[in-house]
Chain A
């Protein structure tokens, strides 16, 4: 039973445990942060298939490639900046270019790194990986969606990057609604006619709050939760843009290379409409709690409201 207190990391690790029980080819590699995600809880049950390689992320990724080439299904985990920028070349060459399989789990996306500060705050990780051919990039929206999509994540061939919030962001979905999630389909949470807000991760709730506030002002927002930025569900986004004529992207990432870029690229080629973005703009991360960081990085509800109004204004 998933509640508002359920931690995403617990959902992930239990999903991983089930995957390991079902398939003896699954191996898990950590780089001295297993206790943070909770993958250390797998060590007792799977002593032969769990490897903590120490603080050597590049080594971890290439070892995973070797295990993949040997017929195993590696899952590698660490904090998102170390899972991506620290070992970008190993992901590119040892895994993707060599056509190997791995699920890379990078935790604490964007400002969720909070008190670990700018060194640990990945605002460029998606941008770095999105240009590597074939890499699937998934960021869970909440624990309910994560639980539903874990089997689809593990069923993928090639490299999948899971950008995982370890904590318990507000539930967007409930288990009772029994929603059918698709790893490659964005979810239209709210239909509207004046503007489309495409949001990811912790910004989905922000977008919904902005939509509620804007409704009071007579502005009708369509809200799309976009959990997979690569490959992008182009159809859902283009269809919505055709309906509303303006788009706002909301993401917990640098404005370059991730959701804003993917949506703009798609719309430019298929159905150009005004786009405005709520994202981190040419800033490094810094230490602080999420509430402070949202303000410092301009990722608050008011920022979404402003962006929506600008996008609508640009339509005319």
Chain B
């Protein structure tokens, strides 16, 4: 996809997120919308995956370690054709294949189960070591939350990935500056986040506008050219990006009601109508 197509793809993902969460009336909409653009760039341009063969050997993999952003992952997978878009409307309903948090055993195209924060990056390190052993040439992607970065296990994984020089691992921090209880700098400040990852021997790229598909794409291209270190792309994002009333609700938009009338307003805004 070119730049314009990626932007349109991100809009489609956002519409799906709103419909998906709207189908059950509330959910993790803020942190889902903030990663819509990176998901668009990954699945629209970079990831070697096959919707007809979700378990394809040697495919690129994504661990959405901030597992509560499941609706965002489902939205891009549905748009890619891993499953029918109608399935998005079953979110969190009994017996669904789309639970609130990502589950590799329920949803085609989901590569790792996540939900208890901090574990997914270690799982991605396991993927990256596995890919290196198999010599399959895959790239492993991981998305972690800024609040999730409070977890000690993130830094255990960071230390070991740096030690192992896992340059086939490209991780993103969804740095939307908010976590459930409030602003990250009020709860447990992360800055200077880039220096921390650099100190753990990662190649760090800071994306000024983490909701700009062109900037994200350029960062991934740059990361792919750098060898000998795992990559951390810090995305300065907006929690709830793309829908003004959700953006305005920060820091209270981690999970929020999404009644049908609000969904209609949100979709109109996303579509630019």
Contact present for A70 and B119 (CB under 8 Å): no
Contact present for A66 and B122 (CB under 8 Å): yes
Report how far A149 CA is from B90 CA in the complex, Å: 45
Q: Which of B129-137, B184-192, B249-257 contacts A (4 or more CB under 8 A)?
A: B129-137
B residues less than 8 Å from A92 (CB atoms):
116
A residues less than 8 Å from B124 (CB atoms):
66
Closest to B122 in A: A62
Mask, B128-161, CB within 8 Å of A = 1, is 1111011000000000000000001100110110
Among the listed B115, B130, B163, which residue makes an inter-chain contact with A70, where contact means beta carbons less than 8 Å apart? B130
Report how far A94 CA is from B105 CA in the complex, Å: 12
Please give the distance in Å from A298's CB to the nearest CB on chain B: 37
Mask, A187-220, CB within 8 Å of B = 1, is 0000000000000000000000000000000000
Please give the distance in Å from B185's CB to the nearest CB on chain A: 26
Q: How large is the interface on A (under 10, 10 to 19, 20 to 34, 35 or more residues)?
A: 20 to 34
A residues less than 8 Å from B259 (CB atoms):
none
Known A-B contacts A66-B112, A98-B112; A59 and B160 likewise in contact (beta carbons under 8 Å)? yes
Known A-B contacts A48-B133, A56-B156; A99 and B123 likewise in contact (beta carbons under 8 Å)? no
Closest to A24 in B: B133
Most buried by A among B63, B119, B120, B124: B119
A residues less than 8 Å from B131 (CB atoms):
70
B residues less than 8 Å from A53 (CB atoms):
156, 160
Among the listed B104, B116, B126, B163, which residue makes an inter-chain contact with A64, where contact means beta carbons less than 8 Å apart? B126
Contact present for B113 and A58 (CB under 8 Å): no
A residues less than 8 Å from B126 (CB atoms):
62-70
Report how far A62 CA is from B129 CA in the complex, Å: 12
Please give the distance in Å from B157's CB to the nearest CB on chain A: 5
B residues less than 8 Å from A56 (CB atoms):
153, 156, 159-160
Among the listed A58, A64, A93, A97, which residue makes an inter-chain contact with B156, where contact means beta carbons less than 8 Å apart? A58
Report how far A303 CA is from B134 CA in the complex, Å: 54
Q: Let me know if B127 is at the binding interface, CB within 8 A.
A: yes
Q: Let me know if B125 is at the binding interface, CB within 8 A.
A: yes
Known A-B contacts A65-B126, A69-B123, A70-B131; A54 and B113 likewise in contact (beta carbons under 8 Å)? no
Q: Let me know if B111 is at the binding interface, CB within 8 A.
A: yes
Closest to A97 in B: B113
Report how far A97 CA is from B113 CA in the complex, Å: 8
B residues less than 8 Å from A62 (CB atoms):
119-120, 122-123, 125-126, 153, 157
Q: Let me know if A82 is at the binding interface, CB within 8 A.
A: no
Among the listed B127, B152, B159, which residue makes an inter-chain contact with A54, where contact means beta carbons less than 8 Å apart? B159
Please give the distance in Å from B252's CB to the nearest CB on chain A: 27
Please give the distance in Å from A95's CB to the nearest CB on chain B: 10
- Residues of B within 8 Å of A, CB-based: how many? 31
Mask, A42-61, CB within 8 Å of B = 1, is 00000011010110101101
Q: Which of B77-136 contact A (CB under 8 A)?
A: 103-105, 111-113, 115-116, 118-120, 122-131, 133-134
Most buried by B among A61, A63, A98: A63
Report how far A69 CA is from B130 CA in the complex, Å: 9
Among the listed B103, B115, B156, which residue makes an inter-chain contact with A59, where contact means beta carbons less than 8 Å apart? B156
Among the listed B118, B120, B133, which residue makes an inter-chain contact with A72, where contact means beta carbons less than 8 Å apart? B133
Contact present for B105 and A69 (CB under 8 Å): no
Q: Let me know if A133 is at the binding interface, CB within 8 A.
A: no
Q: Which of A64-89 contact B (CB under 8 A)?
A: 64-72, 89
Closest to B142 in A: A66
Contact present for A93 and B119 (CB under 8 Å): yes
Contact present for A94 and B113 (CB under 8 Å): yes
Contact present for B116 and A93 (CB under 8 Å): yes
A residues less than 8 Å from B125 (CB atoms):
59, 62-63, 66
Among the listed A63, A72, A90, which residue makes an inter-chain contact with B160, where contact means beta carbons less than 8 Å apart? A63
Closest to A87 in B: B153
Contact present for A63 and B122 (CB under 8 Å): yes
Report how far A168 CA is from B115 CA in the complex, Å: 42
Report how far A56 CA is from B155 CA in the complex, Å: 10
Q: Which residues of B contact A (CB under 8 A)?
A: 63, 103-105, 111-113, 115-116, 118-120, 122-131, 133-134, 152-153, 156-157, 159-160, 163
Which 4 pairs of residues, A with B, have the shortest CB-CB distance? A66-B126, A70-B130, A62-B122, A59-B156
Known: A58-B119, A94-B113. 18 other contacts (CB 8 A): A56-B153, A56-B156, A58-B118, A58-B152, A63-B123, A63-B129, A66-B112, A66-B123, A69-B112, A70-B131, A70-B134, A71-B130, A71-B134, A89-B116, A90-B122, A94-B123, A97-B113, A99-B105
Interface CB pairs A-B, < 8 A, 25:
A27-B133, A48-B133, A54-B163, A56-B156, A58-B152, A59-B153, A59-B156, A61-B122, A62-B119, A63-B123, A65-B119, A65-B126, A66-B63, A66-B112, A66-B124, A66-B128, A67-B130, A70-B130, A89-B116, A93-B115, A94-B113, A94-B119, A94-B122, A98-B112, A99-B105
